[in-house]
Structure 1
Amino acid sequence: MSRNQEQDSFARIFGAHLLADIPDVSSGGHVPRRLIQFWDKEPPQDVARMLSLSKAWADKHQLEYVLFSEADARAYLADRQVDGKSLLQLFDRCFHPAMKADLFRLVYLHEYGGYYLDADNGVTDDALALFGLDRDVFFIDFRQRRVQNNFMAVAPGSLLISKALSAAARNIEENASEDVGIGTLTGPYVFTVELAKLLQDGGYTCYLVDYLKNVKIAPGPEVVLGQNLDYKKSDQNWQRAQAGPIAARLRTKLTTEKPTIPDFRELCRISLKFGIELEALEDIAAANWAEWRHHSVCIELRSRVLIRLQRFDKAREILTDAYDRYIRPASLLKMLSGISMKPERLEFAETLAWQAVEKAPADPDALAQLAAVFRAGRKLGEAKAVVALARERFSQNARLRKLAEALEEADSLADEIAAMTKLLAAPETTGKARFRSIAKTCLYYGLHLEAVEQLADAWWPFWRDTPMCVWLRARILEKLGRVDDARTLLEEAYEKKLRAPNILIMLAQLALDAGEAGFADQLAGMAIAKASGRVDARVLRVKALAALGDTAGVDAVRGYLQEQHAGHPLVIELERTMGKYG
């Protein structure tokens, strides 16, 4: 099983047990009221401050506070064993303080239980709920499909802690090497594997909580102190200490053996995180681009490397090539939008941001990128509305928070619509462009639709001959439940020879809904003649032909769609529901 397949398996297992929030259970007593931390030697000033804040929190809430140094841990482990192995000997084989902290926490928690918190995490009153629960609590980084071990709340004798301790001890004895990641030997990967086994076997229950949705339980130093810790920039940070040797090994493998995408991905992950081997990465990507250019993950990673190297034009070239070849996942759309935010390219950047949001509506970074493009284009009301809606779901997102602060003084979208409606002061072209943008935003989010319709009505003498304005107003009327008014508007445009594909397709759908399959087929055919690439027009025509009983016509259009657009969401949905039309 590949690492990706394994991680997908973890996601399925954990997803079935995942809680969105800390549960409200009052039985209590499962987790001892004890806060445990570890730092090997004299802590640097910023770490010492984090530790003192944690101790003050524990004292305030009458929790026992335990802080172990390496010397304390050695004394504690001196006469203890696991599976017949000397824990002190295993501790001494740990080649980095982070490994020693991993091993110590497992031994201590298994014996005494409590709430373990890494030294560089803070703690808030929200964590008090952990001590009132009736089972162990572990936090999942569901995005990375792994169990966190930087904080956990467990009872003495926890089955998962016992399994993880045995696995870590075995790894230290058999595989301890700087070429093997600490996370794999004693850290999150060990917890992840052992928890997946226990949950599959069904002999263990615990609470699994999505860390990213509950980050306030144990916020990092950038939240508590307003900055990250200096030690993370040194080899005291276990990830940085191991990054160099692992990256060098991967680079050698990629340049002396047949390069693989998984190895390239792993080297990119390390290199981008720590800013090492970036030039070598670009050389490797360029040498293999004829093959790798077809894989969206390679396109994204190479573009990120190029951006870090400040080769923006090359990154834009790579991303634009992918876009032109219809490789358009949300991650690439966001990135291309971000590096296209020059005045002369803002319209394209906005199109890309909208496409990213439509593909990934629950992605806070996609929403932030859309708001950022709006702000760059001085569409402040729309930017403010998007940020406000996004922050209702993603209050912890740093980029959304900064955008909210920057837009605090901007007029609201409702105020902007009201001003445009009342004053009719903007030149025709400017007002038209703002209407198109505002209407699209309000349609997508269901905002201020009555006000937008009033705006359209007030300006209609200026806009009625613009196909995009006609189509947007018709969609707004439809959303408001005024379907007859929408159809009247579209038919008036049709009679005036305003027959853009959007107008024809929407009018065809309304005609089909009204039982006028012949008229719908005629309109869909006209739309296809004007824009042969419009999949929605061909899908609509299949439905119209099916309603007319034209089996040969249906088969012909379906055959074309299967041949040319089999993976398109509309085609997939059509095939799923064809029984309704056949």
Structure 2
Amino acid sequence: MTLTHEQPEMTPSEVADDHKLRSQFMQRLIADAEHSLCTGDAPTPPRVLVQFWDDADSVPSDVQACLDSWTPLESSGFKRLLFDDLSAAQFIKKNFGVRHVRAFERCSHPAMRADYFRLCFIMKVGGVYIDADDSYQGGRIEELISDSCLKIQPLCYDLATGSMVDPVSSAKTKDSEGRIFYVNNNPLIAPPGHPVIERALESATSQLLSSDKNSRDIQSLTGPGNLTMCLVLHALGARQANSKFDFKLIPDWNSFATTEWPLAYRSDHRNWRHWVRGYE
């Protein structure tokens, strides 16, 4: 794929491994998202809503309120599941191999374990993964499982202001210098065995097993950075094969859910942002 007329043809790996080129490619995907066709011949995702909190017996009341906000989905036939460290480890041991068990054990922070577990669960079972600190806003989630395409949320971070900005309008702006385009790993909506999830799980597993156990690079090891890299590799491969995409970007995710920021746990080490920066 050629990103600009001035650049030589580059391999998918060269694009995905380069932070700037990866962001540029994601910008184009986001800008063209409304015109992109999404097809897939796999089964549709099951009506399963899965979430994670490291200790299911000690969920803070404000986080529990977020979890409870999803109760209305039960009337639409969704089964709601909450996993924690113990039940997630049991799930991985039952459904995956020793490498995956060891990789999960090397996740040093609850956020990393949530990242890794969601890949395992969606890979094996499929369904809808939502972070525990997201509150349901009433959108029709069933519309997002009406086909077999992976659904993920695009994001854009503005370095100058240190804040998130609208990804769609930013992607369509010619001057995007100083902005990073990528995808979130929340939500993850897919049928079991989706190739992007499979690639992201293998990448996270390999990186966790080969990296320093004390590494705090959550984004690249298990989070949005890892998923974005794998999505770019997958999309470039599809374009080279002249195939239609089997994933869809959902820029209006805020109409379905809102991340609640004033939660008590965000002020201590349970907040991965504090942990990454060494704030204990």
TM above 0.5, yes or no, is: yes
Deviation at 1:196, TM superposition (A): 0.4
1:57-96 aligned at under 5 Å gives the runs 57-81=72-96, 85-96=98-109
Identity of aligned residues (%): 25
2:133 alignment partner in structure 1: 120
Contact 2:112–2:223 (CA under 8 A) maintained in structure 1? yes
Match of 2:207 among 165, 168, 171: 171
SS in 1 for 2:59: coil
Residues 1:50 and 2:66 aligned together:
yes
1:125 counterpart letter in structure 2: G
1:207 counterpart letter in structure 2: K
1:131 alignment partner in structure 2: 145
Deviation at 1:111, TM superposition (A): 0.9
2:52 alignment partner in structure 1: 38
1:306-317 aligned at under 5 Å gives the runs none
1:154-169 aligned at under 5 Å gives the runs 154-169=190-205
1:165-564 aligned at under 5 Å gives the runs 165-202=201-238, 204-210=245-251, 213-221=252-260, 228-244=262-278
Deviation at 1:9, TM superposition (A): 3.2
Compared with structure 1, are the counterparts of its residues 158 and 5 closer, same or farther at alpha carbon in structure 2 (3 Å cutoff)?
closer
Deviation at 1:117, TM superposition (A): 0.3
Distance (whole Å) between structure 1 residues aligned to residue 184 and residue 26 of structure 2: 13
Distance (whole Å) between structure 2 residues aligned to residue 28 and residue 122 of structure 1: 29
Residues 1:106 and 2:106 aligned together:
no
Distance (whole Å) between structure 2 residues aligned to residue 183 and residue 106 of structure 1: 14
Match of 1:19 among 30, 34, 41: 34
Deviation at 1:244, TM superposition (A): 2.6
Q: Which runs of 5+ in 1 are unaligned?
A: 223-227, 246-582
Q: Which runs of 5+ in 2 are unaligned?
A: 1-16, 157-166, 168-179
Distance (whole Å) between structure 2 residues aligned to residue 214 and residue 50 of structure 1: 16
Compared with structure 1, are the counterparts of its residues 61 and 38 closer, same or farther at alpha carbon in structure 2 (3 Å cutoff)?
same
Compared with structure 1, are the counterparts of its residues 131 and 5 closer, same or farther at alpha carbon in structure 2 (3 Å cutoff)?
closer
Contact 1:38–1:101 (CA under 8 A) maintained in structure 2? yes
Deviation at 1:168, TM superposition (A): 0.3
Residues 1:149 and 2:188 aligned together:
no
Distance (whole Å) between structure 1 residues aligned to residue 126 and residue 143 of structure 2: 16
Instruction: Tell me the TM-score normalized by structure 1.
Output: 0.37
Deviation at 1:126, TM superposition (A): 3.2
User: Which structure dedicates a bigger proportion of its chain to helix?
Assistant: 1
Over residues 381-430 of structure 1, what are the superposed CA-to-partner deviations in whole Å (9 max), with x where a residue is unaligned?
xxxxxxxxxxxxxxxxxxxxxxxxxxxxxxxxxxxxxxxxxxxxxxxxxx
User: Which structure dedicates a bigger proportion of its chain to strand?
Assistant: 2
Distance (whole Å) between structure 2 residues aligned to residue 79 and residue 152 of structure 1: 22
Contact 2:149–2:190 (CA under 8 A) maintained in structure 1? yes
Contact 1:91–1:100 (CA under 8 A) maintained in structure 2? yes
RMSD: 2.7
Rg (Cα) greater in structure: 1
Distance (whole Å) between structure 1 residues aligned to residue 92 and residue 198 of structure 2: 16
Contact 2:129–2:186 (CA under 8 A) maintained in structure 1? yes
SS in 2 for 1:192: helix
Compared with structure 1, are the counterparts of its residues 2 and 193 closer, same or farther at alpha carbon in structure 2 (3 Å cutoff)?
closer
Distance (whole Å) between structure 1 residues aligned to residue 26 and residue 204 of structure 2: 19
State the aligned residue count.
Answer: 232
Deviation at 1:135, TM superposition (A): 1.7
Deviation at 1:6, TM superposition (A): 3.4
SS in 2 for 1:7: helix
Contact 1:17–1:208 (CA under 8 A) maintained in structure 2? no
Distance (whole Å) between structure 1 residues aligned to residue 61 and residue 116 of structure 2: 25
SS in 2 for 1:153: strand
Contact 2:30–2:154 (CA under 8 A) maintained in structure 1? no
Deviation at 1:127, TM superposition (A): 2.3
SS in 1 for 2:269: coil
Contact 2:131–2:187 (CA under 8 A) maintained in structure 1? yes
SS in 2 for 1:35: strand
Deviation at 1:237, TM superposition (A): 1.0
2:254 counterpart letter in structure 1: V
Instruction: Tell me the TM-score normalized by structure 2.
Output: 0.75
Distance (whole Å) between structure 2 residues aligned to residue 38 and residue 15 of structure 1: 28
Contact 2:95–2:124 (CA under 8 A) maintained in structure 1? no
